[in-house]
Amino acid sequence: MSQTNERLAELGIDLPSAPAPAGNYVTAMQVGKLLYLSGAICLVNGEMTHTGKMGETRDIAYGQAAARVCALNLLAATKEQIGDLDKISRIVQLNGFVNGIPGFAESPTVINGASDILVEILGDRGRHTRAAVAVTGLPKDSSVEIQAIFEVA
């Protein structure tokens, strides 16, 4: 068993199946050592797990849980693309989008839900650059969407 799979087991995390693309695009594309991952929303087994706007009907903890789901979907898409998660050399960048009301200023705190779980799973390989922005809407009313770039071996 790979070290990353062992760590997932220690944390009691079962990766979901990677959601299929919702349009004419791919979930992941490797160019050289970089793996570009399309935006992941809160979709697990065909069902939305977290919907709604931060600051309106949803609180920060809910948003952080949503970001965690997105991060796990990114790992699932990576595993589908490259097979072994131990091939992740590092996470280069996350771009987090938070479905929020106008003026919602806690997007970085929400996206910490993704950053924290990725570092918890991958250790220093999970540290990354990041953007966290509030938007007025996301696909399927997802509370969060995260796009990423990973470096892989």
Give the closest residue to 131 by CA, choosing from 152, 150, 148.
Answer: 148
Domains and their CATH numbers in the chain:
3-152 (3.30.1330.40)
Condensed to tens digits (0 to 9), the pLDDT of residues 76-134 reads 999 999 999 999 999 999 999 999 999 999 999 999 999 999 999 999 999 999 999 99
pTM for this predicted structure: 0.96
Condensed to tens digits (0 to 9), the pLDDT of residues 60-72 reads 999 999 999 999 9
The whole-angstrom separation of Cα 87 and Cα 89 is 6
- List Cα–Cα distances, 54 to 20, 108, 138, in angstroms: 26, 12, 12
